[in-house]
Chains A and B, each alone.
Chain A
Amino acid sequence: MTERARRAAPVTLLVTALAVVVAFLAVPVVALFCEVPLARVPALIGGRQVREALWVTARTVAIADGAMLLFCTPAAYLLATRRFPGRGALITVLELPLVLPPAVAGVALLSAFGRGGLFGDALQDAGIVLPFTEWAVVLAILFVSSPFYVRAAIAAFETLDPVYREAARSLGAGPWATFRLVTAPLAASGLTAGWVLAFARGIGEFGATIIFAGSVRGQTQTLTLAIYDLIESDFDAALAMGILLVVTSAVVLVAYKLVAWRRTRPVAARR
């Protein structure tokens, strides 16, 4: 064997492995697009059940993401900028839903907010019904997706040089103005990247939702649940929703890459 052939052999192996991986990961997605005539997709998505599922998904993800940004941003800011005993343990608790199987998350939510659960009876007495309502979908999405955002937000705030904050404070800006005018804009691209991940996880939520929120058409049936519901009675509609979700996910992924790319550029420019 010549020197060149000996060097080429591992490369051939590597290329083969890459080809296998690419084929395995890309083929199902390509097959999805081949299965249904693309021209019929708009008509299929216009069906009542699909329209309702689309609307439920859009609304619950919007509310969950709104609440997530509202609560998790300050929480992450505090965790990133202060050092206190138990901080590491606290962050671990917040990250736990990341590694929890979604079905377990659903059962956990049910034992917290369902009838006979930890808070379920008290809520019921107060006239608040959470399980198997649209709020349950929101809670399930929040539970499984906000850790993605919290993690990214902590990282984004941690990498900021405190010098900017101190400069703003020394120039007379209050804490709120400092956050709004200095910290938030500087962390914005990191926060966006975290939000994109959380959003993608949110629209794909299935396991926790079906256990904690059920599959009530027009109320708790999101797109992923509608796919599961329609797979046998209307396979084409299920495929069309699949295509819709693939396109959404692809757009989200490209947006994420763009944000990540832009994030690395201005830092270099600043130096």
Chain B
Amino acid sequence: MTRRRSLAVALAVAGALAAVPAAASALTVYGASSLRDALPALDGSPRYSFGGSNTLQLQIERGAPADLFLGASPVEATALYKEGLCTKPVTYATNVLTLIVPASNPAGITSVGDLRKGGLRLSVGAAGVPIGNYTRTMLGRLRLTSVLSINKVDLQPQVANIAARVSLNAADAGFVYVTDAKLAGSSVKQVKLPTWAQPPVRYEGCVVKRNGADSDGASAYLAKLTGTPGRTVLKKYGFGLPKQPKKK
């Protein structure tokens, strides 16, 4: 009886162990946090890992079994390419920065200049994550870099967290992409930023090179993303599109 029970336990453990490698066969796409709704809408079958592009880059450098990397700037894909960890990067989308405030706008912010009054709870991308780098570039152009020191700044590792903090009223304002403002819907209000201060926001991705990678599946996904199906979905979610699906 006891022996039979321990045999059953052993079989159950072995079965559970066997089930894990079998689950690892789907195409694995590592995507920038701002793509978290657009990519599953394009194709629901791959496994997705969304995060800050720089975090995903680090994970791939550390041996993460990704097949396709889709970043929110050229920096990460280019670095992976130079390290021989992926193919030549391809531009597949563009984006625009915006300032969002909670729908109730507790701090009464109507322009980016209002951040100069200081003491506000500001949610900003950490240095290194694309949204953080873009935000700093833009604030530099506006000569408003000081807003990062005179306000209570909360640094986030990915853009989704910034949108979350503002929509949950945990921040008075935050810098995100227009696509995030669109996803957050009526829980936030947008404060337009001057067009001349906008940095070019180019999304680049590449097919990961590693032993056992599903390169064919990744290439097919990338072709779909840069082709008509991808462009339709990206446009629907508010992304800009590169002129043609052109190679860098």
Residues of A within 8 A of B (CB): 59, 62-63, 66, 70, 110, 114-117, 120, 124, 127, 129-135, 138, 180, 214-221, 229, 231-233, 235
Contacts and interface: CB of A to CB of B under 8 A. Distances in A.
A215 B50 contact: yes
B109 interface: no
Which secondary structure characterizes the binding site on chain A?
loop
Contacts of B16: 59, 62-63, 66
Interface string B26-70: 101000000011000000000111110000000101111110000
B17 to A, nearest CB: 6
Contacts of A124: 63, 211
A97 to B, nearest CB: 21
Chain A CB within 10 A, most for which of B2, B47, B63: B63
B28 A219 contact: yes
Nearest to B49: A216
B62 A115 contact: yes
Report the 9 A-B pairs with minimum CB-CB distance, sorted nearest first.
A232-B164, A115-B63, A132-B64, A114-B62, A216-B49, A66-B13, A129-B65, A217-B48, A131-B63
14 contacts: A63-B16, A63-B17, A115-B63, A120-B62, A124-B63, A127-B211, A131-B64, A132-B62, A133-B24, A134-B20, A214-B59, A218-B26, A232-B163, A233-B183
A15 B17 CA distance: 51
A214 B69 CA distance: 14
Interface of B: 2, 12-13, 16-17, 19-20, 23-24, 26, 28, 36-37, 47-51, 59, 61-66, 160-161, 163-165, 167-168, 183-184, 211-212
Nearest to A124: B63
Contacts of A66: 12-13, 16-17
Contact of A127 (B2, B17, B59, B212): B212
A206 B184 CA distance: 25
Nearest to B167: A232
Contact of B24 (A70, A138, A180, A219): A219
Chain B CB within 10 A, most for which of A59, A135, A233: A233
Contacts of B37: 233
Contacts of A215: 49-51
A129 B28 contact: no
A232 B161 contact: yes
Contacts of B65: 129, 132-133
Nearest to B163: A232
Contacts of B50: 215, 217, 229
Nearest to A238: B164
B47 A218 contact: yes
Nearest to B85: A115
Given A110-B62, A131-B63, 14 more contacts: A59-B20, A63-B20, A114-B62, A114-B63, A117-B62, A127-B212, A129-B65, A131-B62, A214-B59, A216-B48, A232-B161, A232-B163, A232-B164, A232-B165
Contacts of B66: 132
